[in-house]
Structure 1
Amino acid sequence: MALRESFHQNFGTFSTEPTQGTPGSEYFPPPPYAVSDHGGQPVQRIWNIPTISEDEAQQAFLEYASSKCCYSSNPAKEMVFNDLQGFSAYRYQLETFTESRSFEWRTKPFTGRTEVPIVDMIAVSPWNVPVAIPMMFQNNTKEFMLPNTSSVKECSVCMASGKIPCKRCGGNTKERCHWCEGRGVFASDTCHHCSGTGSLTTLCKACSGLGMLNCDDCKGRGLLLTYHALVVKWKNNIFEYVAHQKDDFPAKLFQAVTGQKLFVDEQDMVYPITNFPDNSINSASRNAVESHRAQFMSTSWILRQKQMIEHIPLTRVEYSWHSKSYSFYVYGNERKVHTEDYPQKCCCTII
């Protein structure tokens, strides 16, 4: 992975600038990144806020009413439009794809040769082991057995026999009496179902009457292979922020819809956005980039970053029905509807 380099990009709408990461104590530190300044900010453009038409709003309202079993479609069909207002709603998202490495002890049943070199530990940096990077921005985990770290030992659970007593019958080969739960006593008297033995006459189904089962730890082998594993974890860390102008619209509803992508920036290391028209997006970008670098660079390798801004359509529709005023919102590319005062509902009884 090449070192991070300074870069200068002019998107025609807004610019990005470098932010210094916060250093810290590093665990299995990756190579340091070189982040430097780049050129000035490009000139901003004028942003237009799109609104939907009355026909589109009415169609969305009709589909909304049809999706509710207790809502009449009459208000959506007979509504009289008073006003349509478009509002700015922007979603900023930062994805930071990281790789972390650690050494962990592993054990598994030994099925190979009985002679394996015994080495306590080898002095090797986990970052010196070449590992292919999987698909970007998707969580993944892989493990690799390190050479010259394995040893064979007897399984302590079964004392190297490969067998353990059957838990169901306790090793006596017979089915445990379910009436007295194997105690031999039922209601303070000797259990007449098992004659006080705690076992029935039928053979145990779990062990086929053998009284022993293969050991789960060594799978009946009696030997365990212990080794040092390199555990490589890839994680896509996501920061998301939505800026919108209407306090009476629940922000959580934006999670279920998509918007129009205004800006996508994917680099080894992105720079914060600086002159987007909504300053809260600029602040969110700066905080997210600085937070991710401070959080992940001390223990992980930041392989790639991607930031995106979406414009999410949000239109407030004010209308009248039967001489009373109402309102609803249409939001997202999916034209979903949100309203808290639908004018005509019926009472449904489900039999």
Structure 2
Amino acid sequence: MDEKDDEQLDTGDQLYPPPPAYNPQPENDRNASVPNVRVPQVSESVAREALLKFVGSKWSKSSKPARNLTFKELQPITMYRYRLETYTESRSSAWEMEPFTGQVVDGPQYGMSPPPWDVPVQQPQRYIDVILKVRVPHSSFVKTCHRCHGCGRTRCTHCAGRGNRRCPFCHGHGRRTTGHGRNNRAGNNRCSSCQGRGRKRCTFCHGHGHKTCPTCQGNRILMHFIQLTITWKNHVFEFVPDRLPEFPLKKFEKVSGDAFFVDESILVYPIVGFPDQEICDASRKASQEHHSKFSPQQVPCRILQQRQTIELVPITHAFYSYSGKDYDYFVYGLENKVFTPKYPSACVIL
């Protein structure tokens, strides 16, 4: 294959057009509404146990304050987390090649190659990122290897095909200065590494001057085909209202909540009528953002499914006293994780 043929094959994602016209609409002509929920309560025993577990994982903290503290107030806080997931599928294609070893060649003689979006594949489980590479039917053909021109081997680039290289010890002279000889005179002896020849056998080609062609692996023929890359990706928009300046929102990323509202469809409606207006605003923003970002006019992909959820993430602000001083900490998530801005120290007599 000459350079011109290579340029014709290396068309990358230009081989196939974008996905066919696909403009899904929400299935129901209504906006999503959600019910009211109750804020869960955390008892003193649960709050104390969570703190004991937290300090137990910190070697620098003593469990004595957690055991002996006196609770002053347990304040439950309503905290919602909104999430919109948009599951998309995109397809791209490129020419690939492999050594031909006698395998079946599914070429144009069996029919025309289908467009990318007509190639049948098994859909993976929704909302899981997957990349699948498949060969486009009827796109294969065989041709002489363009790198070795059908020889099955290429010239060794380390020795330029000579089979030997200049000796690195004597630099090709065949003799080496070995220090001081008799009567403190420098000795100029025959190089023991190359036996005075000045050149050594090339270790890369073992003296042959050529190597097996790395492209066709010595088979002399290549099979070319169009490879279709299908990417399923879950794009997530997440929002938690920032109402606790003393509590870092990143802590919510590692805990789960109670998903009391789940709405799933090809396209979902923005949420309206929820008591927390910030959640409604976030839902509207997420829907507009994803519909615009993943439209076929913007990127060669299509939306397969959307899912929006509202979780109630339990969080309790615990106020307590120890040794005459006031402290506080947070118990959050269904896992009852703990975040404490400041923890009292305890004198431990060893």
Change (3 A) 1:113 1:313: closer
Residue 285 of structure 1: CA displacement? Answer: 1.2
CA contact (8 A) 1:87 1:244 kept: no
Aligned partner letter, 2:293: Q
Q: Which of 131, 138, 143 is matched with 2:133 structurally?
A: 143
Deviation per residue, 1:115-136 (Å, 9 max, x gap): 88679x9685322333321221
Task: Give the TM-score of the pair, scaled to structure 1.
Answer: 0.76
Task: Give the TM-score of the pair, scaled to structure 2.
Answer: 0.76
Tell me how large the CA RMSD over aligned residues is: 3.6
Deviation per residue, 1:144-195 (Å, 9 max, x gap): 3334433323223333322345677776667997x75x9659xx97995634
Q: Which of 264, 267, 270 is matched with 2:268 structurally?
A: 270
Q: Higher mean Cα deviation, 129-138 or 192-201? A: 192-201
Aligned-pair identity in percent equals 36
CA contact (8 A) 1:96 1:306 kept: yes
CA contact (8 A) 1:88 1:245 kept: no
What SS is found at the alignment partner of 2:94? strand
Residue 67 of structure 1: CA displacement? Answer: 0.8
Residue 75 of structure 1: CA displacement? Answer: 0.7
Aligned partner letter, 1:38: D
Match of 2:244 in 1: 246
CA contact (8 A) 1:151 1:227 kept: yes
Aligned partner letter, 2:306: Q
Residue 113 of structure 1: CA displacement? Answer: 6.7
Aligned-partner Cα distance in 2 for 1:148–1:257: 49
Q: In the alignment, does 2:93 pair up with 1:91? A: no
Q: In the alignment, does 2:319 pair up with 1:318? A: yes
Match of 1:287 in 2: 285
Aligned-partner Cα distance in 1 for 2:74–2:165: 75
Aligned partner letter, 1:66: G
Match of 1:304 in 2: 305
Q: In the alignment, does 2:153 pair up with 1:152? A: no
Aligned-partner Cα distance in 2 for 1:59–1:272: 40
Pairwise mapping of residues 189-268 of structure 1 onto structure 2 (< 5 A)?
192=191, 194-195=193-194, 204=203, 212-268=210-266
Q: Give structure 2 stretches of 5+ with no counterpart.
A: 1-16, 178-187
Aligned partner letter, 1:238: V
Q: Give structure 1 stretches of 5+ with no counterpart.
A: 1-25
Structure having the larger proportion of residues in helix: 2
Match of 2:123 in 1: 133
Q: In the alignment, does 2:104 pair up with 1:105? A: no
Q: Specify the structure having the higher radius of gyration (Cα).
A: 2
Aligned-partner Cα distance in 2 for 1:115–1:49: 64
Change (3 A) 1:229 1:326: same
Deviation per residue, 1:27-55 (Å, 9 max, x gap): 3334332447624776x754322221111
Deviation per residue, 1:64-123 (Å, 9 max, x gap): 11111111111101101111111122111111111112232112222237988679x968
Change (3 A) 1:146 1:39: closer
CA contact (8 A) 2:113 2:136 kept: no
Aligned-partner Cα distance in 2 for 1:156–1:57: 71
Aligned-partner Cα distance in 2 for 1:194–1:312: 74
Aligned-partner Cα distance in 2 for 1:114–1:258: 51
Aligned-partner Cα distance in 2 for 1:176–1:323: 84
Aligned partner letter, 1:155: C
Structure 1 runs of 4+ with >6 Å offset: 113-116, 167-177, 188-191, 196-199
Residue 330 of structure 1: CA displacement? Answer: 0.7
Q: In the alignment, does 2:32 pair up with 1:67? A: no
Q: Which of 29, 42, 45 is matched with 1:38 structurally?
A: 29
